[in-house]
Amino acid sequence: MVTAITKGLSLAHEIYADRGRRVRELRKAGKKVVGYICLYPPVELITALGLVPFRVFGDMSEPITAADRVSTTVVCPFLRSIIDLGLKGKFNFLDGIVGAHTCDIGMTMIIAFRDSAIETPFTHFIDVPHTDQAAAIDYFEGQINSFKRHLEEFAGEKITDDKLKKAVELHNKQRKLVRDLYDLRKSDPPMLTSMENLEIMVSLFSLPVEEGNDLLEEVIREVKERKVTPAKKKARLLVWGPVFDNTSLYELIENADANVVVDDTCVGTRAFWADVKPPYDLHSIAQRYLVDIKCPRTYRQSEPGEIKRDYDKDLDSRFNYIKKAVTDWHVNGIILQSVKYCDTHGYEVPNLRHYFDKLGIPNIYIEHDYSERSLAPIKTRVEAFVETLG
């Protein structure tokens, strides 16, 4: 007999297997669904208007064919996969799409998506600065305000201060619950596998925030009460990198006698670790998204405006949050992973490896083309790396 406490993980698994199922139901019931690409469109504004935010991912199991008509093959395969799925009608439940200048390819891809892949009543592009200085935050606040006005025009109503505050509180609650979820993996062995965790995270990007919060509360309760836990393994790993929305890599790693106990990816901690701080206005939202999200696409230095640079000091300013995660989750090895042609993350790898080498933390870099078939050659390298941690 399946009791109520078993519904969390099974529901996450179902949503992971069919991400569009719930939003199609909501759209049929009269809700409007707004897709967004990457982490930088502020979802609080979408929620504040009663719209449903839906983060757009690619599909590693779907060969890219249709996208060849509108994009070259030597660019980010994740973004090409999104274009491909759009051309194949896989996002026909979207009423709008929002993109942001996360990288130059990301900027051009949202235009290609809009013009070639899918026609929606609402399309918006947010220009995101690449520094976290005060002038950049002010500029980004202006971009968010422009997005707000356009979204209000689309929805036919205004975002009041009260609506925005309630939306921020809902999303902050979700971020706190995600941090609670990750705490379950600090034990040895962890209480939650990385595959289970990723299915939950992908589900959160596929649901209205209220339903996502209910799912998280159910999952956390279920995991704490279940009797069977993941096995204790040789290695406790941190995985770093850009978007990874498929459990296949984590399954490969965990089959190599390792537990992935924490991550720094934009489908994991990077998306949820920072809250919007009071007074919950557009400036505090700009601060959260531009400064507090730790993505390589934003340039940081230890002392903004300094002409004479201290390389090691800058590295510590940029990466000490990862060092803290290594300590808090008792990590003994790091896998740096990225997709081909992702210059944003690829250029960060030498700095990261230098930083971790100085700290004495074993690490390895692997690259793939955002397809399940590309992971097979990685298997031996991961196994060999885990062996060195024994």
Q: What is the reported pLDDT for 328?
A: 98
Pairing label, strands 258-264, 235-240: parallel
Concatenated DSSP letters of 138-171: HHHHHHHHHHHHHHHHHHTS---HHHHHHHHHHH
| Residue 36: both structure tokens together | 């967004």
> What distance separates the 2 farthest-apart alpha carbons in the chain?
67
Phi, psi (degrees; rounded to nearest 5) at 378? -80, -25
Residue 301 has a pLDDT of 75
pLDDT of residue 70: 85
Q: What is the pLDDT of residue 5?
A: 37
The alpha carbon of residue 38 and the mean position of all alpha carbons in its chain are separated, in whole angstroms, by 7
Q: Is 30 helix (H, G, I), strand (E, B) or coil?
A: coil
Q: At what angle do helices 21-28 and 7-17 cross, to 10 degrees?
A: 90
Residue 239, pLDDT score: 98
Q: Produce one character per residue of 140-172: b if its CB has 16 or more CB atoms within 10 Å, e if not.
A: bbebbeebbebbeebbeeebeeebbbebbebbb
Tokens read off for 191: 């209480």
Per-residue confidence (pLDDT) for residue 1, from 0 to 100: 24
* pLDDT at residue 107, rounded to an integer: 85
Would you tell me how many other CB atoms lie within 10 Å of the CB of residue 222? Answer: 18
Q: What is the pLDDT along the chain (390 residues), one digit of tens a residue?
A: 233 334 899 999 999 999 999 999 999 999 999 999 999 999 999 999 999 999 999 999 999 999 988 888 999 999 999 999 999 999 999 999 999 999 988 888 777 777 877 788 999 999 999 999 999 999 999 999 999 999 999 999 999 999 999 999 999 999 999 999 999 999 999 999 999 999 999 999 999 999 999 999 999 999 999 988 899 999 999 999 999 899 999 999 999 999 999 999 999 999 999 999 999 999 999 999 999 999 999 988 777 767 777 889 889 999 999 999 999 999 999 999 999 999 999 999 999 999 999 999 999 999 999 999 999 889 999 999 999 997
Amino acid 19: pLDDT: 96
Q: What is the pLDDT of residue 309?
A: 78
